[in-house]
Structure 1
Amino acid sequence: MKTVQTPQGDVYLHEPTLELLRAVREFLPFGAVRYASTQKGADYGLVMQCGEAELRGVKQQPVDCDEAQSRVSYQAHSMLIAHSLGSYRQCGFAGLFIPCPYMRAKEGGRHESGIAYFGYPSTRGHESQEYPYEPAFDGKFGHGFTTMMTTFIRTLQASSKEMGISMARPIGMDIRNRMQLGSLGFGFMVLGPHIFSLKTVISEQDPVWTVLRSTGVTDIYHLPSVPMAIREEDLHLAKPAGPGTL
């Protein structure tokens, strides 16, 4: 267990159980792998590309800005995501949800800095059992995804108001492949009632820890991860048909 000390109190980072690791792998379409030795601070690879196929997410895109503003927005989005995790968890969804800040350079010196949502609802969770099917996004990501995403966006809006950090009005909510999102930040993930940090570097100077602790979150799991690509023939290793090992 790691302890992160913040002005708001300590945050405790626990090793995930084998059961939780298997659940993460089962929810991710292309699975996940545990590295034999740490790679760039990561113990795990979350597979976001298998052969030519890529994971797809929904991007919440603001208007374009310059590079300096894109970096400011990226940090603001990271803090707003951290502030929203506890409230989102209280909604009691059973699926896997990964909100990621992203930055993308475009032509003419323009930059795009928004938030991308990757989500995988549970067929047994109330996100799919108690909410209507929304064809716009549920058709691509499963019944319950839209409910998970819109709920998280509402918690972001509440966090924005509470923290006094403004969010740019989105100009679109579009489905994109992972590689179309440019630089993708792996910060946090929620699976059912569990919050995971995906960060490969844990620093007490990182303001997201103080923000997270200020919301009453004290215990999370640490799953230091990076996005990775595999060959199609290796899919059985990242996502075996049975329990397998991880």
Structure 2
Amino acid sequence: MGQIEILEPTDSLLKEIQSILPFGFFPFNESFNGYKFGFVIKCDSDEMRCLKQQPVEVEEKVAHKLILFHQLLTLETYIQIKDKIGDSLYYATPYLKNKGDIGYESGIAHFLYPQNMAHVIANGAYESIFGEGATDLFMTFAKTYREINKASGLNLQYLGLDIRTRAQLGSMISGFMIYKGNFIYNGTQIQDGDPRFELLANRGVFKVIHTPSTPMEIRQDQLAFAKGKE
């Protein structure tokens, strides 16, 4: 499909991401198990929240297949909405929760941060949590995702949406963020033949910013550093 150039984030881009995320993005002095950053999900007792797109429970083997399907559908959605969401940062990434005898919940966690987003929907459901324009931002994603899901033939089914903390998701799988048209990969491993990168190359995306990151918790006295203010 072509070659994709893997780039490190510039200092200016990193500081923008740090300023947008509620608790920032924590650079490590040294790589830790392949991770170079912490995606900060908790500061003292204050936890980051997201929108949980919950599917029906499935057996474990199917749940792991859904992780890849969700990433592919998300990337195709990003490609189609990247010029419609202003300077918003959007991180839709898979999660996996073992529910015992019921099965596995393999859904999508939406971390959304509207920036210069057209605010059309008055009194939206998510403004008080994610900021002005959040409902418009999510609906832009959701409408396109729904169309792609149906057209793909997968037609994955979901039970609904809930506001949840990161801790309530189970395991979060590092995926792709989009910001100002940049595709940003938070996972550690990049390999030839990865279908996610094949999809991007096939759709004309030939640069990906690599920010291998793991969810982490910080103290209040570390917040300024995580937000890029120190």
Q: TM-score range by the shorter chain?
A: over 0.9
Report what 1:178 is aligned to: 166
Runs of 5+ consecutive residues of structure 2 not aligned to the other structure = none
The answer to whether residue 219 in structure 2 is matched with residue 228 in structure 1 is no
**What SS class does the counterpart of residue 150 from structure 1 fall into?**
helix
How much has 1:126 moved relative to structure 2? 3.0
Alignment of 1:138 onto 2:127: yes
Aligned length: 230
Shift of 1:162: 4.2
The letter for the 2-side match of 1:232 is Q
User: Are 1:44 and 1:226, in contact at CA under 8 Å, matched by a contact in 2?
Assistant: yes
Residues in 1 aligned to 2:178 and 2:147: alpha-carbon distance in whole angstroms: 18
Tell me the amino acid that sits aligned with residue 178 of structure 2.
V
Question: What is the DSSP-based 3-state SS (H/G/I as helix, E as strand, rest coil) of the residue aligned with 1:10?
Answer: coil
Contact residue 50 and residue 231 of structure 1 kept, 8 A: yes
- Residues 222 and 127 from structure 1, CA distance in 2 versus in 1: closer, same or farther, beyond 3 angstroms? farther
- Shift of residue 133 of structure 1? 3.5
Unmatched segments (≥5 aa) in structure 1: 1-7
Give the counterpart letter for 1:151 in structure 2: T
SS of structure 2 residue aligned to 1:100:
strand
Instruction: Work out whether residues 199 and 225 of structure 1, in 8 Å CA contact, stay in contact via their aligned partners in 2.
Output: yes
Deviation at 1:137, TM superposition (A): 1.0
User: How far did residue 74 of structure 1 move?
Assistant: 1.6
* Structure 1 position 166 matched with structure 2 position 166: no
| Counterpart in the other structure of 2:118 | 127
> Any idea what the Cα deviations from partners look like across 1:195-226, whole Å, max 9, x if unmatched?
21112111113211112222221222121211
Indicate the SS of the match to 2:191: coil
Q: Is the 8 A contact 1:93 1:148 kept in 2?
A: no
The share of aligned pairs that are identical, in percent, is 33
Q: Deviations over 1:129-169 (max 9, x none)?
A: xx23443111211111122212112222233244333312x
TM-score by length of 2: 0.93
CA contact (8 A) 1:48 1:228 kept: yes
Aligned counterparts, 1:59-208, within 5 A: 59-122=52-115, 125-128=116-119, 131-168=120-157, 170-208=158-196
Alignment equivalent of 2:25, drawn from 32, 40, 57? 32
How large is the RMSD of aligned CA atoms in angstroms? 1.7
